[in-house]
Amino acid sequence: MRKFAITTVAIAGVALMALSGCSSRGTTTSSSGAAAGFKAGSTIGVALPDKTSENWVLAGKLFEEGIAKAGFKADVQYAPATNTVSEQQNQITSMTTKGAKVIVIGAKDGSQLGSQVSAAHSAGASVIAYDRLILNTKDVDYYVAYDNEKVGELQGQALLDGMKARFPDAKTYNIELFSGSSDDANAPVFFKGAMKILQPKIDDGTLKVVSGQTDIKQTATAGWLAQNAQTRMDTLLAANYTGSTVLNGVLSPNDTLARAIITSIHAAGKDKPVQPVITGQDSEAASIPLIMTGVQYSTINKDTTKLVAQTIAMIKDLAAGKTPSTNSTDYNNGVKVVPTYLLPPELVTKDNAAESYKNTPSLEALTK
């Protein structure tokens, strides 16, 4: 009963994120490059990738509402699941042609937008990279994201802690590693963070990657597609975990892939007698009940409302001719250090889920 109550609260929390917002202006260091300002009613373009996780769907809605509330005209576009890169390039070009004053981009492929953001810049638009960095161009003005490396560190630590708790008698643990899509600039950063924690334990023999696949090229999941993760997990299990070989845990970079990996493990009967520890990210509604019942061990709370609110705060500063607040110089996109505003991610397991999701931010904070 208690379990049910907590689950309900957690799901309600996630669902409410869709309707709410929050301002989170924190420590500030200023950066140069403020635009000359622009008027209420100006167009703000938002180019988002295909909908590979719930957070992208939510972001689109929140941008529509938040930009309108801030007094501007929102032009929100998603790249379709096919031809994504060229479609997103065309969308950015069209936003530029229509005179958008700011273009917010959740890049499908952060390495392929150089000429479009350069054209946007020449036309006088400011470019904000949202969640995913845009690489190898001087024409990205700001980056706003959750601390991606920290996300990976939290996932790596959760995998270790979870296996220790679930397999108290084990001295060593059998694991497999998954990473995100290689066209997403975040994927190597998540993996780097996780390997910072896991590599020393692989080196000292505490962890054994039974398949031997530890290179990001081997662990990548093209397009962040669930089916690709499930197929790879099926193959890994068939080749390496026959008979009594136990699988203790899997590093999964997000919830969509975690659920696919769980399906594969279940089909192979490797969830018995003890469910392996599977990590995740995004606090997706379908994963919260799995976390409350221990089927998925952890996720990461990266409240989309806060990220969108921070981006809208930047847009409002740019409109007022002010330099937006930033708090990190950690992100070099290959050509320059991009002034960045990082928000802190939070690890969620069933122990802190109710607490983590309880503070649903207010709509007023997003829009005032």
Rounded CA gap, 270 and 29, in Å?
50
| Closest approach of ligand BGC to the CB of residue 195, in Å | 17
Footprint on residues 247-266 left by ligand BGC (CB under 6 A): 254
Of the candidate spans 58-66, 114-122, 178-186, 203-211, the one that interacts with ligand BGC by CB under 6 A turns out to be 178-186
Of the candidate spans 31-39, 50-58, 199-207, 337-345, the one that interacts with ligand BGC by CB under 6 A turns out to be 50-58
User: Judged by CB under 6 A, which of 174, 179, 211, 281 binds ligand BGC?
Assistant: 281
In the chain, count of helices (H) and strands (E)?
13, 14
Contact 92, 134 (CB under 8 A): no
Rounded CA gap, 67 and 69, in Å?
5
Which helix (H) or strand (E) is 250 found in, with range?
strand 249-251
Which helix (H) or strand (E) is 207 found in, with range?
strand 207-209
Of the candidate spans 47-55, 112-120, 198-206, 322-330, the one that interacts with ligand BGC by CB under 6 A turns out to be 47-55
Q: Is 55 in the site for ligand BGC (CB under 6 A)?
A: yes
Q: Is 221 in the site for ligand BGC (CB under 6 A)?
A: no
User: Judged by CB under 6 A, which of 141, 147, 176, 282 binds ligand BGC?
Assistant: 282
**Tokens standing for residue 100:** 């958008």
Footprint on residues 130-149 left by ligand BGC (CB under 6 A): 131-132
Q: Is 184 in the site for ligand BGC (CB under 6 A)?
A: yes
Residue window 96-135: x/- pattern of binding to ligand BGC, with contact defined by CB under 6 A? -----------------------------------xx---
Please, what's the b/e burial string for 25-42 (b: 16 or more CB within 10 A of its CB; e: otherwise)?
A: eeeeeebeebbeebeeeb
Footprint on residues 310-349 left by ligand BGC (CB under 6 A): none
Q: Is 186 in the site for ligand BGC (CB under 6 A)?
A: yes
Beta pairing, strands 346-348 & 299-301: antiparallel
Rounded CA gap, 74 and 187, in Å?
28
Q: How many CA atoms lie within 13 A of 338 on its CB side?
A: 28
The footprint of ligand BGC (CB under 6 A) covers: 52-53, 55, 131-132, 180, 184, 186, 224, 254, 281-282
